[in-house]
Chain A
Amino acid sequence: MSREELRSKLESGLALTAIEQALLEAYLEEDAQSDHVQQVKGMVPCEPSLAWRAHLNAKLEQMRPAPKRWFSHLGVKLAAGGLATAAAGIALFLTFANGPQPEPNSISQDLVRWHQEAVAAGGDQNAKPTDSDKVLFGESVSSL
């Protein structure tokens, strides 16, 4: 079957036999190296202009979701900051509330002992001060 016959059959829309299909593929292979196919392959590329690209970029930019307004970002940041501060405060309070009690200093120990001795002495309001009382009020025993 010649090229013309094959072309006529294809143009008329008739189905090809298996042999004709094989022949078609052979012609396609053969044509791939021909001059006219090479000319199509080497046609000058069409580059779009920079204005075209800028216009496309502008269109795509319009399609992107708009960024949130600055004050909504500020509100979120303030709320987050407040929450963080509150959490830090609670943590600090819990740490010190459950922590070890401070040891009483010497003055408070003396006050307690003096009170206990006073109670043991019978609750006499006119009782003389003990040595510890003198020490407590800044007088040394030797000076009395």
Chain B
Amino acid sequence: MSHQTEESVLDGTILSRCKRRDSEAFGYLIDQYQARVFGYVRRMVPTIEDAEDISQEVFIRAFQSIERFDGRASISTWLFKIANNLCIDRKRRANRRPEETPLAGEDRDRAHGIPDSRWDPESHVVASEMGDVLENVLRSMSEKLRSVLLLHDHEGLSYEQIAEISNVPVGTVKSRLFLAREALQQALKQYGNVGDLK
């Protein structure tokens, strides 16, 4: 089921219950969005601890303010907007204190959800390398470009939704997406994993 279809079902049936502080309904909302929100935040902040704290804060703020959610935007737009604002706040706070750099391999050691590839080690190595390259390229981008790239190309949000989340005009979203894709293509070419794309 696509994100949009999931949302329309969720919007129609769960939102009103969430507004009445129905714990079960809000739990269902978390179930539906936790992976997307956590995944986005995880790629926007340097450490997994920050990602865990921020993504929890996203749902806490959503819980606190769901009565005021008017439904003009979709739930995903609303949640990603909260997440984006929290990531920006975190970045501002981090800029005011010494840089925190995660230890090499820290995240890989923590990743318990990686599929077991013992029976196909070669394919795992290739996929893992490609994934690592992609993650590194994303990390090397500015937050503005990375955010637009993730929201559009990974989360499948529209230009208008991203404009609402980032609080910028739609034209700016398109410009950033173009620049982000160009940066990604150039970086992947340097790694030699993509070859001649065009």
Q: How far is the CA of A59 from the CA of B162 in the complex (A)?
A: 29
Query: A-side binding surface: helix, strand, loop or mixed?
Result: helix
Shortest beta-carbon distance, B31 to chain A, in Å? 9
A34-78 contact mask (Cβ, 8 Å, vs B): 1 or 0: 111101110111111100110111011001100000000000000
- Give the interface size bracket for B toward A: 35 or more
Please determine whether A31 and B181 come into contact, CB atoms closer than 8 angstroms.
Answer: yes
Known: A60-B26, A60-B63, A64-B21. A46 touches B39 (CB 8 A): yes
Q: Is B184 part of the binding interface, using a Cβ–Cβ cutoff of 8 Å? A: yes
Q: Is A11 part of the binding interface, using a Cβ–Cβ cutoff of 8 Å? A: yes
Known: A53-B30, A60-B59. A36 touches B181 (CB 8 A): yes
Please determine whether A56 and B59 come into contact, CB atoms closer than 8 angstroms.
Answer: yes
Please determine whether B56 and A56 come into contact, CB atoms closer than 8 angstroms.
Answer: yes
Contacts of A134 in B (CB 8 A): none
A-B contact count (CB 8 A): 102
Q: How far is the CA of A57 from the CA of B178 in the complex (A)?
A: 39
Please determine whether A59 and B60 come into contact, CB atoms closer than 8 angstroms.
Answer: yes
Known: A3-B182, A45-B39, A46-B35. A36 touches B154 (CB 8 A): no
Shortest beta-carbon distance, A17 to chain B, in Å? 12
The chain B residues found within 8 Å of chain A, CB to CB, are 21, 23, 26-27, 30, 34-36, 38-39, 42-43, 51-52, 55-56, 59-60, 63-64, 112-114, 130-131, 134-135, 149-150, 153-154, 156, 171, 174-175, 177-179, 181-182, 184-185, 188, 194, 197-198
